[in-house]
Amino acid sequence: MPILSSIPVVVLAGINEIPHANPLVVQIVTSILSLVPSIIMVEDGFVMVILGLLFYIFHTNRMAQIIVLAVISVIAHLFDPTTVQWMMIFAVIPMYFYNGERGSGNKNFFYIFYPAHIYLLWILASFFR
């Protein structure tokens, strides 16, 4: 289904290239397309869809998951060495040491930590521009 839902996005994405296209129609079509789930519009691209699928296929084999992550990290770096997506290779460290047990249940800490560290990194990056 996600692949089928990508077809209208690809076909109608070129509506801007149609000569004498009505701007209102273009705005309506692009607004509707922004609501259509699409496999090619996923965050971090199609590679993350493949990674998720391979993680599911190898959900019982942690070493295979680690190898898949390492290979996809290398591929991501080879295709676009200017991005930091290759750093996902460092996720193999906690994956390797995971013992299969649930954590301490302190999930509220992570609801605060994650956005806080993203804001902190954004502030630091704005100083270095």
Residues 52 and 100 in one domain: yes
Q: How buried is 122 (Cβ within 10 angstroms: 0-12 exposed, 13-18 middle, 19+ buried)?
A: exposed
pLDDT tens-place string over residues 24-54: 877 777 677 667 666 666 677 778 888 999 9
Q: Are residues 9 and 27 in the same domain?
A: yes
User: 67 with 31, same domain?
Assistant: no
> Checking phi first, is residue 100 left (phi over 0); if not, alpha (psi -120 to 50) or beta?
left
> Residue 5: what pLDDT?
61
Query: Are 83 and 61 part of one and the same domain?
Result: yes
Q: Are residues 113 and 56 in the same domain?
A: yes
**Of 1 and 31, the one with more pLDDT:** 31
Structural domain count, the chain? 2
Residue 17's domain comprises 2-41
Task: Judge if 58 and 31 occupy the same domain.
Answer: no
Statement to judge: residues 34 and 18 lie in one domain:
yes
Q: What is the pLDDT of residues 69-107, one digit of tens each?
A: 999 999 888 988 888 888 999 999 999 999 888 877 777
29 and 89 belong to one structural domain:
no
- Is 47:71 a contact under the CB 8 Å cutoff? no
DSSP letters spanning 69-123:
HHHHHHHHHHH-TTSSGGGGGGGHHHHHH--S----S-HHHHHHHHHHHHHHHHH
Query: Do both 51 and 34 map to the same domain?
Result: no
